[in-house]
Amino acid sequence: MSESKVSKKQQACVNRYIEKAYDRINLTVKKGKKDIIKAYATEHGMSVNDFINRAIDEKMERDGGD
């Protein structure tokens, strides 16, 4: 399988879109936990970002939040 190459101009455009459309949160976990989270997400067909967002959404829904 070949990797697709993205030009610097394309990446800059994507980065500008992300900056406008998304907020970032810096998450800190204990050493080794990142690998555990990544493995779990991968096993369930998700990216780490998808997994964390889903976990947050599910917790907020259970607690009656938005």
Pair 19, 29: CB distance under 8 Å: no
Residue 2 has a pLDDT of 55
CA 59, CA 66: separation in Å to the nearest integer?
Answer: 10
What is the CATH number that goes with domain 25-66?
1.10.1220
Pair 50, 41: CB distance under 8 Å: yes
Residue 1 has a pLDDT of 53
Give me the tens of pLDDT residue by residue for the chain, a chain 66 residues long: 556 788 999 999 999 999 999 999 999 999 999 999 999 999 999 999 999 999 999 999 999 966
Residue 14 has a pLDDT of 94
At residue 31, φ and ψ (nearest 5 deg) are -50, 135
Domains of the chain, residue spans? 25-66
Pair 29, 37: CB distance under 8 Å: yes
CA 49, CA 45: separation in Å to the nearest integer?
Answer: 12
